[in-house]
């Protein structure tokens, strides 16, 4: 019988302090939201740092490729390859052919 009275007394006390309980639940919910948002912010910051590192690596590779392209497309190198690999020679004056467009 005393257990039933105690349960009833607890329920009456909770009913009288609804605002306090509501504020307590709100404060707990707010604290959990702060924790979750802080975790998400840290995860996004880590992801952003990784993307920045990847961007820097790709930028470095792009610059190296541009330097390589410039080196491979120099006129003197192209002329040397044409002479050695394709056995091409510069035509003499009488070997030049002029083509007129109609």
Report the candidate in 80, 97, 98 with the shortest Cα–Cα distance to residue 88: 80
Residue 3 forms part of a structural domain: no
Residue 83 forms part of a structural domain: yes
- How far is Cα 84 from Cα 28, in angstroms, rounded to an integer? 80
The pTM of this model reads 0.56
Residue 94 forms part of a structural domain: no
Number of domains in the chain: 1
* Residue 96: exposure state from Cβ atoms within 10 A (0-12, 13-18, ≥19): exposed
Structural domain of 28: 8-87
Residue 46 forms part of a structural domain: yes
- How far is Cα 49 from Cα 90, in angstroms, rounded to an integer? 55
Residue 96 forms part of a structural domain: no
| Residue 101 Cα to chain centre, angstroms | 54
Please list the pLDDT of the chain residue by residue as tens digits (102 residues): 677 788 888 888 888 999 999 999 999 999 999 999 999 999 999 999 999 999 999 999 999 999 999 888 888 888 888 888 888 888 887 888 888 887
CB 88 within 8 A of CB 82: yes
Residue 36 forms part of a structural domain: yes
Residue 100 forms part of a structural domain: no
């Amino acid at each position: 019988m005393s257990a039933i009275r105690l349960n009833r007394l607890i329920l009456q006390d909770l009913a009288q302090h609804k605002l306090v309980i509501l504020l307590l639940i709100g404060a707990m919910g707010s604290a959990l939201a702060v924790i979750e948002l802080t975790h998400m912010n840290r995860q996004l910051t880590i992801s952003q740092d990784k993307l920045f590192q990847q961007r820097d690596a790709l930028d470095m590779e792009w610059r190296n490729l541009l330097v390589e392209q410039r080196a491979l497309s120099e006129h003197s190198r192209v002329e040397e390859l044409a002479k050695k690999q394709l056995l091409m020679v510069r035509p003499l004056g009488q070997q030049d052919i002029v083509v007129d467009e109609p």
